Amino acid sequence: MAESSCPSSSAAAPSITITLPDGSTRTYGQGVTGLEIAESIAKSLAKAAIAVKVDGQQRDLCDPIMTDAAFEIITLDSDEGLEIMRHTVAAQILACAVKNLYPEAKLAIGPTIENGFYYDVEFKEPLSEDDLDKIEKEMRKIKESNAPIQKSLNSKDQAVKAFEKRSEPYKVKIIEESGQEDNFQLYAQGETGFIDLCRGPHLPSLKHVGAFKLMKVAGAYWRGDQNNQMLTRIYGTAWRNDKELKEYLQMLEEAEKRDHRKLGAQMDLFHFQEEAQGSVFWHAKGFVIYNQLENYIRRRLRDVDYQEVKTPQLIDNKLWEKSGHWGKFRENMFVVPDEVPNTDEDGPVITGKGRLMAIKPMNCPAHVQIFNQGIKSYRDLPIRMAEFGCCHRNEAHGALHGLMRVRQMTQDDAHIFCREDQILDEVKAFVELFYAVYQDFGFTDIQIKLATRPEVRAGDDAVWDRAEAAMAQGLEALGLDFEVTPGEGAFYGPKYEFHLRDAIGRTWQCGTCQLDFVLPERLGASYIGEDGDKHIPVMIHRAVFGSLERFAGILIESTGGKLPLWIAPVQAVVATITGDADGYAQEIYDRLFALGLRVELDTRNEKINYKVREHSVAKVPVIFVVGNREADEKTVAVRRLGGKDQEMMSLDAAIESLVTECKPPY
């Protein structure tokens, strides 16, 4: 029999001091529960309470408090409260509904995620999205029961038995491999017989549950390992009430309109097709964006002492063997035989006897080849070598995603060859450059990760210590918050990852900065030090945008296609109201064109309403509208995207201000 964790506090118990968030203190008997404290403060508070925080730790309302502690009550109004509610919806309502409808289903895990939750379940038959309605209906039934949720603490043996009895092998595995021996928390739902294993806390009762909706089903590997069984993951979202849920769903709908793949088609920027899976066909308008990005970063790099190079696309696999890519990265490489194809009708196209070449997946080995030409002195370092290198990676089909994940990409790549004592300065300079650039694009929601040494690595620990310290310092020096992801570094060195969000909140790594102690040595890079001896330089792989494709995708989504003037594929349209103004419009167009602006002329036989709407939908930032009046007075009516009114300006002034506005920020 499980022992209850919710004993009533005994009057004879020694007293403890509870400190409330406002700083006031209260005295209670040892073992007092959060609920009892809440009741002693106010009845309404006890009613709204769903969990508590004891010394910053989330606990259930029924947990006894044994020592002096800082104490806080969690209600649904807080983010924490909402998350607890989502957790309960997953673990108690979704899981229970699944078991009611599919008794043979095996429950795995059901955590919360941003805006919702999921549950991984093994089903006998595949589950499709159509089944979600049925499950959701069952969930509503369960919610309406308003059942209380009771916790019990169990020994390992008791917990294992409870789940073996219910034939839940995943739960048993979790318990057995937890490394924990006692105090397994099982949450039971009223008299239903349903239990779930959970860290908690949970709502004290289902009556606190607000509005929820199941969103989608997908596959997910057990424990995130692709060698394991694939389970069915059911995603859902939950909110305090119907209104919040509706708002969230509407927000998602709006966000989908900003999807770069949708805008790419609507705005005639690029397309993809079967025959070149995962590679972009940039249309004229889209390529403007690409070129603007490239030229912008080129100007930036020039001013911080980078030199630009260009290296071969096809390189003999011998070099890839030497660099280590053949061993570590080959499954992501495209390999071509260096052989004249057989032209016989029936014969095989290639014999397979030719030497193998690989299309480069990265630029780094080629950059070392340039570094290796001639003898380098310590005085030459650092050498910052940049390349807008076009790389091909044979990405898994399921990984491809519009511009965000492609098989042919161009990185704003560079490699810095430096001495170990220069690492900190170089890393700092990079982060400064990175931030200056992202500011120009208005990106502020940037997640920074510092990925540190993995288990399998090259280089000795003293070097790793120094490298990781330098990288942490580089961020700290600029006062930036970052998350350390231990073990996530490359085998050759620690790295920064800079992540940006897309329209629906998925994050994508864009910028990166990686230290490398291995490649220069493998490829024989060296410099003559002050001491006259040969030394191996450190190599820093770094990219600000990451890939131009991905960055363009993120930019399109973050702006909803309303690109800043300097990047906009069409900066202005000159549109006529009547055919009488065609000559004047042409004159304006010619002047803007001569000034290097990207401008279009619209003298079509359409009403001005129609033209304005069409160019607005196409997200052209500025429309110069001209009719007879403007032609007579040498003026233009300037209409800006999203604006309600137009501004009458003299032609000269309008052109001058447009030219100024179209200037890049750098």
Partner RNA sequence: GCUGCUGUAGCUCAGUGGUAGAGCGCACCCUUGGUAAGGGUGAGGUCGAGAGUUCAAUUCUCUCUAGCAGCACCA
Whether the CB-CB separation of 315 and 596 falls below 8 Å is answered with no
Smallest distance, RNA to C-beta of residue 447, A: 11
Of 88 and 514, nearer to RNA (C-beta) is 514
Interacting span for RNA (CB under 7 A) from 90-98, 216-224, 365-373, 466-474: 216-224
- 171, 208, 393, 550: the catalytic one is 393
Is residue 243 annotated as part of the catalytic site, yes or no? no
Closer residue to RNA in complex, CB, 186/267: 267
Are the beta carbons of 201 and 51 closer than 8 angstroms?
Answer: yes
Closest CB 2 distance from RNA, rounded Å = 33
Q: d(Cα 46, Cα 61) in Å, to the nearest integer?
A: 9
Is 384 a catalytic site residue? Answer: no
Distance CA 403, CA 511 (A): 16
| CB of 299 or CB of 328, closer to RNA | 328
Q: Determine contact, residues 65/32, Cβ cutoff 8 Å.
A: yes
Binding mask 350-389 for RNA (x = CB under 7 A): ----------------------------------------
Does 519 help bind RNA (rule: CB under 7 A)? no
- Binding positions for RNA, 553-582, rule CB under 7 A: 576-580
411 catalytic? Reply is yes
Nearer to RNA, 108 or 186 (CB): 108
| Options 415, 457, 619, 639, the catalytic residue | 415
In terms of phi and psi (left: phi > 0; alpha: psi -120 to 50; beta: otherwise), the region of 459 is: left
- Burial annotation 240-254 (CB, 10 A radius, 16+ → b, else e): beeeebeebeeeeee
**Identity of the residue, 274 or 460, whose beta carbon is nearer to RNA in the bound complex:** 274
Pairing of strands 15-19, 69-75: parallel
Of 376, 495, 615, 639, catalytic: 495
Q: Please report how close the Cβ of residue 137 comes to RNA at its closest, in angstroms.
A: 19
* 104: CB partners within 8 A, 6+ apart: 123, 124
Using CB under 7 A as the binding criterion, the count of chain residues that bind RNA stands at: 79
Written as one string, the DSSP assignment of 600-665 is EEE--SS-HHHHHHHHHHTT-SEEEEE-HHHHHHTEEEEEETT-SSEEEEEHHHHHHHHHHHTS--
Minimum CB distance to RNA smaller for 152 or for 411: 411
Q: Is 447 in the site for RNA (CB under 7 A)?
A: no
Draw the binding track, 618-637, toward RNA (x: CB under 7 A; -: no contact).
-----x-xxxxxx------x
> Phi and psi of 364, rounded to 5°?
-60, -45
- Is 495 in the active site? yes
Residue 335 in the binding site for RNA (CB under 7 A): no
Residues 10-49 that bind RNA (CB under 7 A): none
Query: Does residue 417 sit in helix, strand or coil?
Result: strand
Q: Which is nearer to RNA, 183 or 628 (CB)?
A: 628
Could you say which of 14, 23, 56, 126 contacts RNA (CB under 7 A)? 126
Strands (DSSP E) along 463-548, which ranges? 483-485, 495-501, 507-516, 527-528, 534-535, 538-547
Which position among 399, 477, 595, 653 is part of the footprint of RNA (CB under 7 A)? 399
Residue 610 is a binding residue for RNA (CB under 7 A): yes
- Of the residues 360, 541, 598, 611, only one is catalytic, namely 541
- Of 512, 558, 559, 571, which lies in the binding site for RNA, with binding defined by CB under 7 A? 512
Shortest spacing between CB 587 and RNA, in angstroms: 16
Told to judge if 586 belongs to the known catalytic residues of this protein, a careful annotator would answer no
Active site residue 106: no
Smallest distance, Å, CB 535 to RNA? 26
Binding flag, residue 289, RNA (CB under 7 A)? no
Helical spans, DSSP H, in 258-342: 260-266, 284-303, 317-323, 325-328
Closest CA to 493 of 521, 532, 462, 451: 451
The answer for 42, left when phi > 0, alpha when psi is -120 to 50, beta otherwise, is beta
23, with CB counted inside 10 A (0-12, 13-18, 19+), is: exposed
Q: Does 253 bind RNA (CB under 7 A)?
A: no
- For position 257 contacting RNA by CB under 7 A, the verdict is no
Q: Let me know: does 107 contact 196? Beta carbons within 8 Å.
A: yes
Smallest gap from Cβ 110 to RNA, in A, equals: 14
In the region spanning residues 267 to 286, those forming contacts with RNA, defined by CB under 7 A, are 272, 274, 277-278
Asked whether position 456 contacts RNA by CB under 7 A, the answer is no
Strands 635-640 and 599-602: unpaired
Among 49-57, 366-374, 399-407, 584-592, which window interacts with RNA (CB under 7 A)?
Answer: 399-407
Residue positions counted in the chain: 666
Site for RNA in 169-198 (CB under 7 A): none
The CB-of-146 to RNA minimum distance in angstroms stands at: 32
Q: In this chain, which stretch among 100-108, 218-226, 244-252, 457-465 interacts with RNA, using CB under 7 A?
A: 218-226
Q: Which of 37, 135, 217, 238 binds RNA (CB under 7 A)?
A: 217
Contact set for RNA, span 461-500 (CB under 7 A): 497
Comparison of 299 and 604: residue with beta carbon closer to RNA: 604
Question: Which CB, 42 or 230, lies closer to RNA?
Answer: 230
The residues with which 218 forms a beta bridge, in sequence order, are 233
Task: Return contacts of 291-298, CB within 8 angstroms, 24+ apart.
Answer: 292/566, 292/567, 292/664, 293/412, 293/545, 293/548, 293/551, 293/552, 293/555, 293/567, 294/388, 294/410, 294/412, 294/548, 295/664, 296/440, 296/664, 296/666, 297/412, 297/437, 297/544, 297/545, 298/388
- State how far the Cα of 85 lies from the Cα of 75, in Å rounded to an integer: 10
Q: Which stretch binds RNA (CB under 7 A): 82-90, 178-186, 226-234, 366-374?
A: 226-234
* Pairing assessment for the beta strands 15-19 and 534-535 based on DSSP bridges: unpaired
- Omega before 201 within 30 of 0, i.e. cis: yes
Query: Known catalytic residue: 460?
Result: no
Q: Is 649 in the site for RNA (CB under 7 A)?
A: no
b/e per residue 136-163 (b: at least 16 CB within 10 A): bebbeebbebebebbbbbbeeebbbebb
The least CB distance from residue 109 to RNA, in Å, is 12
By the rule CB under 7 A, 117 interacts with RNA: no
Contacting RNA (CB under 7 A), which of 171, 376, 407, 542?
A: 407
Catalytic residues, by residue number, are 364, 393, 411, 413, 415, 495, 541
